[in-house]
Structure 1
């Protein structure tokens, strides 16, 4: 018989816990909210009243509806008041010792039929469940912040979870108006297991000087179409939270890609945690708007690269008032390329005049300088890109430049996750769209970019860095070899 959940307990009424309590109360379910002491309980009450008050102001709730929601939530400092709950969810800090101690206490207090759930974003649900006498009745129920708004819930089952219980929890999530994705118990589940290595890699690129902070963020936001740049997103999540998730991933996988970047560790140790502390990768400074630049101080430009693309780009330059010429006479040589251009530079009579240019989407151009490129040539190319209506991202001449170096391994991780049988294509795409606000899921991006483009980009990255994480997933390699255009074309 399926579980029914009519009374739900929430332990921990910080921003996340109060949001979870509100979600259940909005669905007509009675909630018992528990905090450690009266002061914390009042803060929790403030979160509930503030969130529902904003909804009232925006016309999303009436006064009567708000009163009903708040009336369904009973606030207390006594865990014993959870004894009659059908489900108890914890939303306390991400410290395993705290969670294990809490679950041992909940196991003593709650009725034998009650389900105990953790809202952990990355810790082992199995390890938490092992502290109880009912590991089969313990699951993960990971909401995303802000819980009343975000539609995704990751439902995490362990090897000991009772048959059918994860389905019951998923049905409950749908009752709350959420979209559940059910997965096994691996560090980071789906969203954080894919998101954090990508964010951590962005820190590595910054630390290695591949591009600057604003360039990396602009490349992924305007070029790849992500809702936020990776460094800005780290500041939003919290650098300390991000660091701990990376640590959890690394403890499980021992993959270098999951180890927190040294710069991330340094910022956390210095107390620079992002928005919560007022400074992280970004500080309190106002965003810098590029000033209008004068026309670059060159009149002749040579364009090299794939014939059709180079011809179209040369036409745009002519329309903007530049003269195109051969590479011997040109004051600036632009090499349109998705791969490093230093080998092209050394074949020129004036290698210092060559700059690589990778057009990404409709808004970004990556400006890649080789070790031979003069600062003047880079500056001129940057101004030229702006005149043509694109945002320049200045970077070093490395495989993948910025967008490819970050995006291709991110998509490769999604293929590996699917190949392992951990989650389906649809589950992964849904989780990343709803959990991260992606305009398209990883496999939708793969279909748009082309499997061979991503596979070849990964090979270039692996050849340069020799990092096993950059080696194309075996499935990706096989699909390209077989001429399959999409993972979705595989037999069910």
Structure 2
């Protein structure tokens, strides 16, 4: 089993590993190393914290035994490989030390200064930070070339992704050695440069923050946005349910780190995040956040909509009208129907303004096969919106009520996320396959951003971003230059680049 790399012509071996900080994450990391057969030294600040760390290890491996994934003998072997201590001095002969203490830069820098003094000269020092500058941490040591990021995901024994972060001064080959070690642990490593948030948090938290901004702007409701992204895109959770799971305080802090580095307006934490955090509403861990421990409320309308004639306009109108006719609704004309449904992926206010009864027109954007975005213009009557909401349910889709804005809900959230991924790749600090793998494995997404781009079409996404930029005038919505150039050149997939 060759898991070592080369440094100065000598073989580097990782057989004894230190883990500093034995909270849920640190204890999980220690367990991962011990499961792979490595000797582990776990360090905590005091005896009480050390006992809590021991409890995390015993509970985690105990759950694996209960589920039949480990035998009691295997559990004993794993725990036997972990030595627990309150002294950093016990890390003097470790080959690798992974730091997993709280996300406070001053704490981490102080710890790395101590580790640099204590650990042998050949030891590699790694930080499990999820968003802080690895370069800033490395700068406190006399061995910045031997400092990397090794970002595990929670729960570490289960999640397969490890982000391996290299800095501008990381020794040649070291990131590859750490990636090889991650594979030895049964993980999938992705190699990224040292940018705030790395891959997963930089893409994920920006999308989640964007959802919070759209909620504040009244584009759609909390439940509507969550349903749109879960059912329309196939994501495991909607953005607000996921924010509550992550913790609003954690999300807020990551956004602050992102904004501090980029000064991009989309990285500025949404005011509603700050307000909820200040009020102590941190998500699931505090019993309330965007949700108060409740499930998404049902907005299901009872009974059949009180309209008889429906006019359907736009691409796909015949099929939709036929389904309504089968349900007992009479086809009508736009001039005199009780309600007018305009199938469209763009705002419909201009069409409404041309009708004799603009209050009867409602935009409808069909997303996948489960969702229909119900777009109300400034002229749409509440009765018309309710009627179309009911019609959508009759044809077997979940309605998501929203304002008549560029790209409505799903595409307004999805396209900037994809644009961010293109910019990330074009900047050179993460590859296409690594970015896709990171979002699939780190977030449980059904596809990575470049896989989504291929499915949607580069031109479709480029044009959607242009529409968002025209409406909101946010520079981040302008198509990435690479995306624009690919479409202009007639390239169908970013993977076709030489």
TM-score by length of 1: 0.98
In structure 2, the partner of 1:393 is 400
CA distance in 2, matches of 1:156, 1:287: 37
CA distance in 2, matches of 1:365, 1:71: 55
Shift of 1:290: 4.6
1:95-123 alpha-carbon deviations (Å, 9 max, x no partner): 00000000001111111111110000000
Alignment gaps of 5+ in structure 2: 1-5
Shift of 1:480: 1.2
Given that 1:303 and 1:334 are in contact with CA atoms closer than 8 Å, whether structure 2 keeps it comes out as: yes
CA distance in 2, matches of 1:379, 1:305: 20
1:38 corresponds to 2:47? yes
CA distance in 1, matches of 2:487, 2:145: 42
Given that 1:3 and 1:165 are in contact with CA atoms closer than 8 Å, whether structure 2 keeps it comes out as: no
CA distance in 2, matches of 1:9, 1:131: 19
Given that 1:461 and 1:470 are in contact with CA atoms closer than 8 Å, whether structure 2 keeps it comes out as: yes
Shift of 1:292: 6.2
Q: Please give the root-mean-square deviation of Cα atoms over the aligned residues, in Å.
A: 0.9
1:3-26 alpha-carbon deviations (Å, 9 max, x no partner): 211110000011100000000000
Given that 2:223 and 2:296 are in contact with CA atoms closer than 8 Å, whether structure 1 keeps it comes out as: no
CA distance in 1, matches of 2:456, 2:173: 38
In structure 2, the partner of 1:261 is 270
1:468 corresponds to 2:462? no
1:210-269 alpha-carbon deviations (Å, 9 max, x no partner): 001000100000001111101111111111111111111111111001111111111111
SS at match of 2:254: helix
CA distance in 2, matches of 1:234, 1:286: 14
CA distance in 2, matches of 1:25, 1:355: 59
CA distance in 1, matches of 2:346, 2:172: 50
1:21 corresponds to 2:30? yes
The structure 2 residue matched to 1:314, chosen from 318, 321, 326, is 321
SS at match of 1:276: helix
1:141-172 alpha-carbon deviations (Å, 9 max, x no partner): 00001100111100011111111111110000
The structure 2 residue matched to 1:304, chosen from 293, 308, 313, is 313
1:47 corresponds to 2:66? no
CA distance in 2, matches of 1:286, 1:184: 39
In structure 2, the partner of 1:6 is 15
- What is the aligned residue count? 489
Shift of 1:286: 3.9
Given that 2:32 and 2:185 are in contact with CA atoms closer than 8 Å, whether structure 1 keeps it comes out as: yes
In structure 2, the partner of 1:271 is 280
1:160 corresponds to 2:169? yes
| Stretch deviating more after TM superposition (39-48 or 350-359) | 39-48
In structure 2, the partner of 1:194 is 203
Shift of 1:31: 0.6
CA distance in 1, matches of 2:191, 2:483: 24
In structure 1, the partner of 2:439 is 432
CA distance in 1, matches of 2:311, 2:257: 50
1:356-376 alpha-carbon deviations (Å, 9 max, x no partner): 000000100000000100011
CA distance in 2, matches of 1:317, 1:448: 30
CA distance in 1, matches of 2:428, 2:154: 27
Shift of 1:348: 0.5
CA distance in 2, matches of 1:477, 1:167: 33
In structure 2, the partner of 1:332 is 339
Shift of 1:283: 1.1
CA distance in 2, matches of 1:36, 1:272: 29
SS at match of 2:286: coil
The structure 1 residue matched to 2:151, chosen from 133, 142, 146, is 142
In structure 1, the partner of 2:413 is 406
Given that 2:163 and 2:189 are in contact with CA atoms closer than 8 Å, whether structure 1 keeps it comes out as: yes
In structure 1, the partner of 2:294 is 285
In structure 2, the partner of 1:232 is 241
| Stretch deviating more after TM superposition (15-24 or 312-321) | 312-321
Given that 1:355 and 1:368 are in contact with CA atoms closer than 8 Å, whether structure 2 keeps it comes out as: yes
CA distance in 2, matches of 1:398, 1:291: 23
